[in-house]
Amino acid sequence: MPIYEYVCQSCQASFELLVRGSEEPTCPQCHSTQLEKQFSVPAAHTAGGQSHDLPVCNPGGSCGLPQCGGGMCGLE
């Protein structure tokens, strides 16, 4: 059961919802069904429950990822 992020087109509320099966999501504030699904950042599970940093590019990198600008990438 995925959790999605939405913005309500009626009241502009921003929220997350757990969507089950064919359930139609509604705004928790105004109960509108006119919602726009947002892009969200994925969560990563780490083994053993320990927190580890995920590999990301350092500012000014050049690997071609949107996070990188011109210069040396921290992943290369």
Task: Give the model confidence (pLDDT) of 25-43 as tens digits.
Answer: 999 999 999 999 987 666 6
Tally the domains of the chain. 1
Q: Is residue 62 a part of any domain in this protein? A: no
Q: Which has more pLDDT, 21 or 48?
A: 21
Nearest CA-CA partner of 10 in 36, 28, 34, 38: 34
Task: Give the model confidence (pLDDT) of 42-61 as tens digits.
Answer: 666 666 555 555 555 555 55
Nearest CA-CA partner of 9 in 39, 33, 41, 38: 33
For residues 22 and 18, give the distance between their C-alpha atoms in angstroms, rounded to a whole number.
12
Give residue 9's domain range: 3-40
Structure token pair of residue 52:
């580890």
Q: Is residue 70 a part of any domain in this protein? A: no
The pLDDT assigned to 3 comes to 80
The pLDDT assigned to 2 comes to 72
Q: Is residue 13 a part of any domain in this protein? A: yes
